[in-house]
Every structure is written in structure tokens, then in C-alpha cells.
Amino acid sequence: MQFFLDTANIDDIRKYASWGIVDGVTTNPTLIAREGVDLKTRILEITKVVDGPISSEVIATDSEGMIKEGRKMAKWHKNVYVKIPMTSEGLKAVKILSSEGIHTNVTLIFSASQAVMAAKAGATLVSPFVGRVDDISGDGMYLIQEIVTIFQNYGFMTKVLAASVRHPKHVVESMKLGVDIATMPPNIFDKLVSHPLTDKGIAAFLADWEKCKDCQKPY
């Protein structure tokens, strides 16, 4: 199971990478626009901080344009994964790019059938959006379960990346279902780590320690 950061904020990427548990980064046009930075410059900055797959999304919506952008992005750095939206044009682009050895991450997946189509085209990763499915009263976790089961049944090499993660339970449930990767916004990393009983326990240990001066000889 790998943990990716779903952000283009370089300070956050540096902060959480320093914890030693960030395996990759996913970006999308919204996240890049939020930072107001040039795409190539930011992706290259990220590659210097995290040594793992870094998803960079194409803007073209026709296969030719996607292939052109994807080929350029793949030359930026060996860890760049070309993120392509799940459309028939996207499938054509994935087929060509994957045949050239370029890693792809097919994004905006909302059904098991879309995931299967992307896998058949040779996608390296598929990104089902669990949070956005839940947002419209669907069942994001059921979608993950369907995709993982189908990929296992047919031996697809494509990895399942749970995206649009909204809370720690999405991460834990995804792991129970066997997803390969969860990408999550920085605040989810904090939520995965913290527990009020841990904080309470530390405070109690320190308070008891302070009461015992004999315990505190230097060592």
C-alpha cells in the first residue's frame, strides 16, 4: 500500500515528505491553478522532493493533443506519470503512450466499467474518485471493491489508486479492500496520525514525570 499526496503545494509536500511516508504525488489542473504556478516548474520541483510517481495532467481533450502533451511531460523526468481523463479520446492516448513505455494515470473514474476500459488500454494506474461518488449519495467504497475484484479476477497489472479521499476511513477501508495506492490531501495525513488518547497519554506521562525529581538524573 502506497500513500500519495494529492496537492501541488510545495511547502506541504516538503513537510509531509519529511515524515518519510510519502510515496508519490498527484496533481490536477485545479490543484496547480490553486498554487498559481507554472506546471512544468512545479512538477520538476516536486520530483526533487519525492522520489516516486508524480502525476501531471494533460489539458487537451483530443487524443492527438493528449499524446503530444504526454510525450513532452514524460521527458521532464523519469517519475512523471501522465494523467489522462477517462474518455474514449483518453483511451486512445493511453494505448499509444503505454505502448511507448510512458506511465499513465487514468483519472475521473466513476464506474467499474471505466476502470476496466482504462486497464485494457494499458493504464499504469486508475483513479476512482471515492469522495465525489459519496458526494452524490453513491458508494465510493463499493466502487473500489468492484474494481479491485475485477482486476484480481482477470490479473490486470493496472494499479488501483483511491482518489478524492475525504477522511481517514476512506483510506483504511481502501486498504481493507486491497487498493494499491491512496492519494490524499495533506490534512488527511494529519488525521491519520493523530488520536486524542495519544495526546492525553503523552500529557499524563509528562505530568507524572515532572512530579518525580528523583527520576530525572541525566543519562
Q: How far is the CB of 135 from ligand G3P (least distance, A)?
A: 8
Stretch that binds ligand G3P, among 32-40, 127-135, 140-148, 169-177 (CB under 6 A): 127-135
Q: How far is the CB of 155 from ligand G3P (least distance, A)?
A: 27
Residue type, 25: V
Binding residue for ligand G3P, selected from 3, 8, 13, 26, defined by CB under 6 A? 26
Which grid coordinates are listed for 126? 486508475
Stretch that binds ligand G3P, among 11-19, 126-134, 174-182, 208-216 (CB under 6 A): 126-134
The gap from C-alpha 213 to its chain's centroid, in whole angstroms, comes to 48
| 3-class state of residue 218 by DSSP | coil
- Regarding 132 and contact with ligand G3P (CB under 6 A), the answer is yes
- Catalytic annotation, pick one of 48, 72, 83, 200: 83
> What region does 34 belong to: left with phi over 0, alpha with psi -120 to 50, or beta?
alpha
> What distance in Å separates the CA atoms of residue 130 and residue 165, rounded to the nearest whole number?
6
148-187: which residues touch ligand G3P (CB under 6 A)?
Answer: 163-164, 183
> What distance in Å separates the CA atoms of residue 150 and residue 128, rounded to the nearest whole number?
14
The answer to whether residue 78 is catalytic is no
Q: Residue with C-alpha cell 488518547?
A: 197
Q: Which is nearer to ligand G3P, 40 or 132 (CB)?
A: 132
- Regarding 131 and contact with ligand G3P (CB under 6 A), the answer is yes
Which grid coordinates are listed for 163? 482518489
DSSP run (H or E) holding 81: strand 80-85
Catalytic residue set: 83
Site residues, ligand G3P (CB under 6 A): 6, 26, 28, 129, 131-132, 163-164, 183
